[in-house]
Structure 1
Amino acid sequence: MITRKWHTVAEVAEMLGYGLSKTKTLVATGRIQSVKDGHNRRILPEWVDQYINDRVAEAA
């Protein structure tokens, strides 16, 4: 089995339980870090974790 090294915006939306539009907005505003790969955005797993950690810290 191959372990993915990064995710698409749609995959991150599904992981977080968010809609695609909300996730695209988070990426566009830099709340979720990403890199441009051709015509697509890619997101490292640790960047998803960082977003979650930031949200938890904001809530505390």
Structure 2
Amino acid sequence: MSQPIQPKWHTVSEVAQMLGYGLSKTKQLVATGQIRSIKDGGNRRVLPIWVDDYIARLVEEAA
């Protein structure tokens, strides 16, 4: 039985949807480096661990 392929990275739009944020807010978080990303051609890509890191920082700051 084969496993579905897991995405290796996400678009900024996908990250916005995952976090429940608007696209403009997510783009701002990426532009300011609060969510790490890499440039892939004309697009920004975000590794899943970088989304997890951002959420962990939010939780830590709230504690």
Q: TM-score, normalised by structure 1?
A: 0.97
Aligned twin of 1:12? 15
* Equivalent in 21, 29, 33 of residue 30 of structure 1: 33
Q: Which runs of 5+ in 1 are unaligned?
A: none
Aligned twin of 1:54? 57
Q: CA RMSD in A?
A: 0.5
Identity %: 72
Bigger radius of gyration: 2
Q: TM-score, normalised by structure 2?
A: 0.93
Give the residue type in structure 1 aligned to 2:30: V
Q: Any runs of at least 4 consecutive aligned residues in structure 1 with deviations exceeding 6 A, and if so which?
A: none
